[in-house]
Each structure stands twice: as C-alpha cells, then as structure tokens.
Amino acid sequence: MEEKKITIGGQAVIEGVMMRGPELTATAVRTPEGKIEISSRPFNSISDRYPILKKPLLRGCVSLIESLVIGIRSLGYSAQMAGEEKEQLSDRELAGTIAFAFVLAAILFIAIPTGAAKLFHSITEDPVFLNLMEGVLRLFIFIAYIVGISRMKDIQRVFQYHGAEHKTIACFEAGEALTVENAMKHTRFHKRCGTSFLLIVMLVSIFVFAFLGWPSLIERIVSRIVLLPVVAGISYEIIRFSANSDNCILGWAVKPGLWLQRLTTREPEPDMLEVAIESAKAVLPADKIPAGSGDYLYHEPEEINEVQETEMECINI
C-alpha cells in the first residue's frame, strides 16, 4: 500500500510562524531576547468526528472556520511571546474576536459593496450587471486593503515571516533537509496560500451572486452571508485540486493568487527562516523530518479540551 503523503500548512504570526502537521499545530516565535519559543498543540478536526463534513464543498467551510480559530489563537500566543500582550486570549475573548472578525468582514466585503452598487442604477437596471459591479467593487476593496496594510512596517515583517513559511514548506515538499540554506533558495509563493484562497473566494462570489436578482439591500446582504459557505466550498475545491494537478485551466485559476502573493509575502531574513523551520520540525513525526535537518526545540504538546481540538486541511495563511 502506498504511504500517504504528509502535507503541512501554516500562517505567519507576530515575529513567528504557526505550522500545522498531521497531528500537531505549533507556533514558533522569536522572543525579544533572541530565543525561539515553541508552543505545540494536538488537534482533531471536527470533520474527524463527523465524516460527512469531509465531503466536497462542506470541507471548505470547515477548513475556513477551523483555520480562523487556530490562527487567532496563534496570533495571541505570538503577541504574548513577542512582548506585545501580557496573557493569551481566553476562550470567551477568542469567541468575541472571531465574531468581531466576521462582522467586520461582512461590513467591509458584503454590506459596503452591495450598497455602493446602486450607484450604477443610472447606467442600467439589469440585475446581472449590478451584481457583477458589486463583485468588482468587492474585489477592489479587497486588493486596496491588501495594498494598504502591505505598506505598514510591522505588517511587512509579518509578510517576511509569511515568505519564510512558504519557503520552508516548499523545502519540505522537495524532500530536502530543513536548513536555512536549502529553504532560502525556494520560492516564497505557494498554491495553497490563504491569500490565493481569499482572492478566489472574491472571484467565485462574482459569478455565484451574479444571478440572484436585485432585491432590497437587506435581502442582498442576507443572501450573500447565507451563500458564503457555498462560495468558500467551491473556492476550497479549486485550491485543493490545483495544488495537486497540472491541469492548465486550474493552473491559470490560481495565477491571480500567486501574483497577489507578491504583496503578501516578502523575502525573509535567515533568522526568520530559522523560526519557520523549527515550527515545521515541531509538527512533523520524527521519522518524517528530512535527514540533515538537525535537532529541534521540542515542547511537550499542551493539554487542551475537546472544543479546542480543531484544525483545517492545510491551507497556508
């Protein structure tokens, strides 16, 4: 029987990188003292308990939600280790942060574009055209947001760690020893990147929402929110299949996401790659770490309750 291929995914955090492996998540952070601190956690996806959630379209929604939960928790830990926060988020604070993120995203990428699209009423009343213009406005807001934050100095460092995460994953996927020298020569762009996923979500939403008619503003906002799981599910399948396919159509489908990564990733410094490599080693089984990768800073996984044992199927953020 052919051995199942191990994939890892991750996310850049404050002065560090979070990685996800087959059984663990780990967040490695460079502290103000220059040390690398690692926090690792076991995980089980909710889809392991409810197999129906592994079906196409459903698994994309699960991945998005679980990724958000783990990502915010990792950001909290990295802020604490980097000296920006005194303590990690409690479960209640985590839930509040996630709820706030959803509300903010709904306002920025749903309410504002669909409300502003009425400005095109002077051109035509055609609902398909108005929905398409709404999609174009949503895409413009998204890209403008990325461009805006990419100019912030602190965010640029996060984007460097984002590049380090991608280079480390590419190095592992190439079967090479996880060293700074090996990782440095790899690309900072990756097909499974969360940036690509979000851009595809924006593009898919243009086509999904185009034929919904043009009801009242409230009805339009509600319909977009209700159909968001469908959009996320379709987008996830595109990312998933394009990462393992040489199909030219799927290849072109993810090209815009790779182009956008020129904004959301930066070439990392060697010490950033060290952090990403330690995070990757911490989530890999010992026998799967490529020979020559050296020792790693292993921390015994924390005990966590069942509610917190969630994870996604390796979309890189």
Q: Which pLDDT band, with edges at 50, 70 and 90, does 295 fall under?
A: low
Let me know if 21 is exposed, middle or buried by CB neighbors in 10 A (0-12, 13-18, 19+).
buried
Beta-strand ranges (E) seen in 31-168 are 36-42
pLDDT at 214 over 50: yes
Domain contains 265: yes
pLDDT digits (tens, 9 = 90+) for 58-113: 888 888 888 888 988 899 899 888 877 666 667 788 788 888 888 999 999 999 99
Total domains in the chain come to 1
Domain contains 316: no
Domain contains 314: no
Domain contains 226: yes
Domain contains 78: yes
- What pLDDT, on the 0 to 100 scale, is given for residue 279? 95
pLDDT at 176 over 50: yes
- What pLDDT, on the 0 to 100 scale, is given for residue 310? 37
pLDDT at 307 over 70: no
- What pLDDT, on the 0 to 100 scale, is given for residue 96? 85
Domain contains 186: yes
Residue type, 85: E
Domain contains 1: no
- What pLDDT, on the 0 to 100 scale, is given for residue 179? 94
Residue type, 290: P
Q: Which pLDDT band, with edges at 50, 70 and 90, does 171 fall under?
A: very high
- What pLDDT, on the 0 to 100 scale, is given for residue 250? 67
- Give the mean model confidence (pLDDT) for residues 292-314: 49
Q: How far apart are the first and last CA of the chain?
A: 32
- For residue 20, what are the β-bridge partners? 9, 25
Instruction: Tell me what the pLDDT averaged over the chain comes to.
Output: 85
pLDDT at 302 over 60: no
Between CA 197 and CA 256 the distance in angstroms is: 10
Domain that residue 86 falls in: 9-308
Measured from the Cβ of residue 153, the count of other Cβ atoms closer than 10 Å reads 6
Length of the chain: 317
Between CA 60 and CA 66 the distance in angstroms is: 10
- What pLDDT, on the 0 to 100 scale, is given for residue 99? 87
Sign of the C-alpha dihedral computed for residues 166, 171, 177 and 181 taken in this order: negative
Domain contains 2: no
Structure tokens at 170: 């590419």
Q: Which pLDDT band, with edges at 50, 70 and 90, does 286 fall under?
A: confident
- Give the mean model confidence (pLDDT) for residues 152-166: 94
Residues 225 and 111 sit within 8 Å (Cβ to Cβ): no
Half-sphere exposure of 71 (CA within 13 A, CB side): 19
Residues 283 and 314 sit within 8 Å (Cβ to Cβ): no
